[in-house]
Amino acid sequence: MAELQKSNKVFGGWNRRYAHKSEELGCTMNFSVFFPPAAESQKVPVVYFLSGLTCTDENVMTKSGIQRKAAEEGVAIIAPDTSPRGLNIPGESDSWDFGVGAGFYLNATQPTWKNWRMYDYITKELPSVLEKFEELDLSNAAIMGHSMGGHGALTLGLRNPQLYKSISAFSPICNPTQVPWGQKAFSGYLGDNQEEWKQYDATELVKAYNGPPRSILIDVGTKDDFLEKQLKPESFAKAAASQGGSSIKLQLRMQEDYDHSYFFISTFVADHLAHHANALKATS
């Protein structure tokens, strides 16, 4: 059972933050939901937003202005947290890119990090909690994210096409097995078997994708400090192009002079919600 923590009216709808006891993660987790005005009279489709390193469920809700376009399109926004919190695992807060705030949307296999099961939390447990909200049509969902959350959106979306009708990402970590952020996280959470890492690498996943057609929108700023060393969008684009057939329709936009920040996200977030609304309304 999710308990309401706070509620704010915005763009005619309601931004609400909840807490619940997660059996999957073994701790209390927060998540935020924006209910558009349309939710007062009908079930509405949902878009999951996965946040990046060091972020919580509140970053996108307070910094991006995502609610304006969501209200216009009549879609709900669901923003989960980025990792377990409050478990006091030794070393969990030693670095900003591993441990607390850095769940990487995977299921850890190393004993120390056994509670870091954000993949199952997002795809299974959180939807089961959200089923209690009669306003939400969870069968009509899309997924998007930023940075580490962009990695999450791509990997969860590609692995679970039955759950998400469309995918988008801002500044995603596209090829984590080949970059420092991903290598640090994967070796720590998953161990040394690099074949195991590939199940959480979007570039590897898109090569083998054989699901229903999916439209993917990716925006990356040309002045993003992490572009060359950590993000590798060109690797994902190359893999998507070589995938064959017409299953993946990728639109990769390099946005001149934009960086990695929420200034960048807020500029293009309406485009992303329009992208998702088109897919969700086509199947509603």
- Helical pair 262-283 and 66-73, crossing angle rounded to 10 deg: 10
- CA 28, CA 41: separation in Å to the nearest integer? 31
How far is the C-alpha of 81 from the C-alpha of 52, rounded, in Å? 10
Residue of 57, 201, 219, 260 with catalytic role: 260
Per DSSP, the chain holds a count of helices (H) and strands (E) of 10, 9
For 43-97, the DSSP string reads -EEEEEEE--TT--TTHHHHHS-HHHHHHHHT-EEEEE-SS--S---TTTTSBTT
DSSP 162-225: TT-S-EEEES----GGGSHHHHHHHHHHH-S-HHHHGGG-HHHHHHT--SS-EEEEEEEETT-T
Return the SS3 of 145: strand
Active-site residue flag, 259: no
* Among 224, 272, 275, 276, the one annotated catalytic: 224
- Catalytic site residue from 32, 64, 83, 147: 147
Say which residues have a Cβ less than 8 Å from residue 223's Cβ, sequence separation at least 6.
257, 258, 259
Asked about 20 being catalytic, the answer comes back as: no
Q: Is 260 a catalytic residue?
A: yes
Token digits for 162?
A: 């039955």
For tokens 């954000």, name the residue: 118
Active site residue ranges? 147, 224, 260
